[in-house]
Structure 1
Amino acid sequence: MAPGWLPSLFGGARLRDPAYRFLFEPGPADEAVAIDCETTGLDTRRDDIVSVAAVLIRGARILTSQRFQSFVRPQAKLKPDAIKVHGLREADVAAARPIAAVLPDLLRFIGGRPLVGYYLDFDMAMLDRHLRRWLGIRLPNPRIEVSALYYERKYGDAPPGTQVDLSFSAMLADLKAPMLDQHDAYSDALMTAMAYVALSDLAARGIRIPRQPMRGAPSFEIG
Structure 2
Amino acid sequence: MLEKFFKNWNRKKLKNKKYDFLFDEPLADEYVSLDCETTGLNPKKDEILSIGAVLIKGNKILMRKTFNIFLKPVKNINAESIKIHQIRTVDLENALDPEDAIYQLLDFIGSRPIVGYYIKFDVTIISKYTKKYIGIKLPNDTIEVSTMYYRTRKRTSDYEFIDLKFDTILKNLNIPALGKHDALNDAIMTSMMFLKLKDLTPAKTTFYTN
TM-score range, shorter chain: over 0.9
**Structure 1 residues 140-155: aligned runs within 5 Å:** 140-155=139-154
Decide whether the 8 Å contact of 2:152 with 2:202 is kept in 1. Answer: no
For the residue of structure 2 that corresponds to 1:75, the secondary structure is coil
2:10 maps to what in 1?
A: 11
1:204 shift after superposition: 6.0
Matched, 1:195 2:190: no
- State the alpha-carbon separation in 1 of the partners of residues 161 and 20 from structure 2: 44
Q: CA deviation at 1:158?
A: 4.4
Counterparts of residues 172-191 of structure 1 (less than 5 Å): 172-191=170-189
CA contact (8 A) 2:151 2:201 kept: no
Q: How many residues align?
A: 204
Unaligned 5+ segments in structure 2 are 205-210
Q: CA deviation at 1:165?
A: 0.5
Counterpart secondary structure, 2:50:
strand
Distance in 1, matches of 2:76 and 2:164, equals: 30
TM-score, structure 1 as length reference: 0.87
Q: Which amino acid aligns with 1:44?
A: P
Query: Residue in 1 aligned with 2:126?
Result: 127
SS, match of residue 73 in structure 1: coil
Structure 1 residues 183 and 158, CA, compared in 2 at 3 Å: closer, same or farther? farther
Contact between 1:14 and 1:137, CA under 8 Å: does it hold in 2? yes
Q: Give the alignment's TM-score, normalised by structure 2.
A: 0.92
> How far has the Cα of 1:5 moved from its partner?
1.8
The Cα offsets for residues 165-203 of structure 1, whole Å up to 9 and x where unpaired, read as 100011011111111112100000001100001000112
| Between 86-95 and 177-186, the greater mean CA deviation after superposition | 86-95
Is the contact between residue 43 and residue 125 of structure 2 (CA under 8 Å) also seen in structure 1? Answer: yes
**Structure 2 Cα separation of the partners of residues 10 and 71 of structure 1:** 32
Is the Cα contact below 8 Å between 1:40 and 1:77 reproduced in 2?
Answer: no
Aligned to 1:21: 20
* 1:40-64 deviation per Cα after TM superposition (whole angstroms, max 9, x unaligned): 1122111101100110001111111
Give SS of 2:35's match: strand
Q: Is the 8 A contact 2:70 2:92 kept in 1?
A: yes
How many Å apart are 1:6 and its aligned residue?
A: 1.9
Matched position secondary structure for 2:101: helix
Which amino acid letter does the alignment assign opposite residue 34 of structure 1? S
Structure 1 residue runs of 4 or more that deviate by more than 3 Å after TM superposition: none
**Contact 2:145-2:193 within 8 A present in 1 as well:** yes
User: Is residue 71–residue 97 contact of structure 2 (8 Å, CA) maintained in 1?
Assistant: yes
Tell me the alpha carbon deviations over residues 9-65 of structure 1, each in whole angstroms, 9 at most, x when there is no partner: 111100001110000012211100000000111221111011001100011111111
* Cross-structure match for 1:67: 66
SS of match in other structure, 1:97: coil
Query: In percent, how many aligned pairs have the same letter?
Result: 38
How far does residue 3 in structure 1 lie from its aligned partner after superposition?
Answer: 4.2
> Could you tell me which residue of structure 2 aligns to residue 160 of structure 1?
158
- Is the contact between residue 57 and residue 193 of structure 1 (CA under 8 Å) also seen in structure 2? yes
